Structure 1
Amino acid sequence: MASHAFIKLVGGSIKQYITVDEVEELFHYYKDITSKTGEQLNFAYESSAFPYECKQANGYLTLSSEERGYSKMYVGVSSAGDEQPSFLQITLLSDSKYGDKNKANEFSKFLAKKLKGELTLFNGRKMYYYKR
């Protein structure tokens, strides 16, 4: 069975609405900053930090990897209505590997912190990255 994590954009968030293109830009930003960390450490860290290839299709992102221990995850953006803010959904399929689950947790925390949103993790626990 698939598992999901959600990032809800709230009144204290940086943005109320977000697009798939903007989420893809955040992943490219993540890849860029981790490659700079690797340069400072003299280590090829970018392939370990972001072992996925990002592709956009049908209104969601598919993150797929050929690396050992990784498979695939999906990131979608949805809006509950015109007056309701957007939310992001990170989905892991039932055949996802442990590396996918770890990276999905890492990415969801990164995205929630960057957007100052409310994160509901895969285990149902909530983390708040905005001022309450």
Structure 2
Amino acid sequence: MAEHAYIKLIPGSTLEVVQLDDIKELFHYYKTITEKTGVQLDWNYSENAFPYEIIDYKADADYIHLKATEDRYHSIFLGVGKEQVKDSEGLAALQHYIELILPELSTYGDKGKANEFSKFLAKKLKGELHLFNKRVMQYNLKK
């Protein structure tokens, strides 16, 4: 059975609406910073930190497919969506989110990387992270 985690963009997040291109851009930034860490450590850290290639995947919805380039990993899917929620005043509002999906064939390595990527994305977007184990982490400084 597939597992799901969500990064919800709440009031105060850096973006109100997220697109797949925004996620790709953040992953390219992630790869850049891990390359710089690898240079400092004199080790090829980038390939170990991001052992996937980014593939656009289209089924009934748009997704990004992170296909593994290493043996210990298989794949992770990322998609974007929106849902109706009630705001603090009780009015209906539209909330955008990023969904991370681990298919049945995913490995423990994929789950670890998905947790790492979700925390990175939630921190950069200042969002609300709903982890695979149903716990919630806030990366948005509340006033």
CA distance in structure 2 between the aligned counterparts of 1:55 and 1:111, rounded to whole angstroms? 18
CA distance in structure 1 between the aligned counterparts of 2:66 and 2:19, rounded to whole angstroms? 16
Letter in 2 for 1:129: Y
TM-score by length of 1: 0.96
For residue 86 of structure 1, what is the aligned residue in structure 2?
A: 96
Task: Tell me how far 1:124 sits from its aligned partner.
Answer: 0.3
> Matched residue of 2:94: which SS?
coil
Work out whether 1:103 is the aligned partner of 2:106.
no
> Matched residue of 2:65: which SS?
strand
Q: Gaps spanning 5+ residues in structure 2: where? A: 85-92
Which of 46, 67, 73 is the equivalent residue of 2:76?
A: 73
CA distance in structure 1 between the aligned counterparts of 2:4 and 2:57, rounded to whole angstroms? 19
CA distance in structure 2 between the aligned counterparts of 1:67 and 1:57, rounded to whole angstroms? 20
Please show how residues 1-132 of structure 1 align to structure 2 within 5 Å.
1-58=1-58, 59-80=62-83, 83-132=93-142
Letter in 2 for 1:24: K
CA distance in structure 1 between the aligned counterparts of 2:105 and 2:98, rounded to whole angstroms? 21
The C-alpha deviation readout for 1:73-103, integer Å capped at 9, x for no partner, is: 100001226x513100000012211110000
TM-score by length of 2: 0.89
> Matched residue of 1:95: which SS?
coil
- Which structure: greater strand fraction? 2
The C-alpha deviation readout for 1:20-65, integer Å capped at 9, x for no partner, is: 0110111111011001100011000001000000011222100001
CA distance in structure 2 between the aligned counterparts of 1:89 and 1:68, rounded to whole angstroms? 24
Superposed structure 1 runs of 4+ greater than 3 Å apart: none
CA distance in structure 2 between the aligned counterparts of 1:109 and 1:35, rounded to whole angstroms? 19
Task: Tell me how far 1:66 sits from its aligned partner.
Answer: 2.8
CA distance in structure 2 between the aligned counterparts of 1:117 and 1:66, rounded to whole angstroms? 29
Q: Gaps spanning 5+ residues in structure 1: where? A: none
Structure showing greater Rg: 2
> Matched residue of 1:85: which SS?
strand
Would you say how many aligned residue pairs link Structure 1 and Structure 2? 132
What is the CA RMSD across the aligned residues, in angstroms? Answer: 1.3
